[in-house]
Amino acid sequence: MWTYDRRLQFPVKIACPNANTAKIIITQFGGPDGELAASQRYLSQRYSMPFREVAGVLTDIGTEELAHMEMICAIVHQLTRNLSIEQIKDAGFDTYFVDHTAGLWPQAASGTPFSATVFQSKGDAITDLTEDMAAEQKARTTYDNILRLVDDPDVREPIKFLRAREIVHFQRFGEAMRIVTDKLDSKNVYAFNPEFDRMKTSD
């Protein structure tokens, strides 16, 4: 499925730790529109996708989302390493610290733990791709919000890179949707589930 290059997709080098910023950015690890959810969404959906080229898009983007999760974890780690207990308390990071120290654990900025209920794998090509396009826009909005809140250029640059990739993914899923609808239109069908149904013809 993939090969692993032992470097981040975009460099993360943060000079100034900041637990307040980490509390915001961790949402893109374990939040409802974060990279963990995205990777699991696309890598789950690929198995029921009836068209190989679209399954390939899901695989490509799903594995890239794992690389994005790695970047987010690197950002949060660098923002929280070497903090004093006073800095942890002052930032309100003590409630996270007491459970996880400075380890990485998937949660939203609200503190809500990661849950698979934030994404869907429906087994219908059009339904799944519609969810995927919406997911990329929700992630883009989250990155927009992070950029509104964070001033540190060491943090902003990798976040801007991740935001740009959400836009590319949205475009790729749009292209995948066109492939699926063209294939269905060419056969005069409105639905195709290879596991349970034959091609169903429209009236």
Which residue ranges are tagged as binding site for Ca(2+)?
60
Specify the 3-state DSSP secondary structure of 97: helix
Specify the 3-state DSSP secondary structure of 201: strand
**Residue list for the binding site:** 35, 60, 65, 68, 136, 169
Q: Kindly state the tokens that stand for 114.
A: 């990661």
Report in angstroms the alpha-carbon separations of 136 from 27, 35, 82, 115, 150.
Answer: 15, 10, 34, 18, 21
**Residue list for the binding site for Mn(2+):** 35, 65, 68, 136, 169
- Answer for the pair 70, 6: CB distance below 8 angstroms, yes or no: no
Q: Kindly state the tokens that stand for 54.
A: 């679209």
Q: How many residues does the chain have?
A: 203
Specify the 3-state DSSP secondary structure of 200: strand
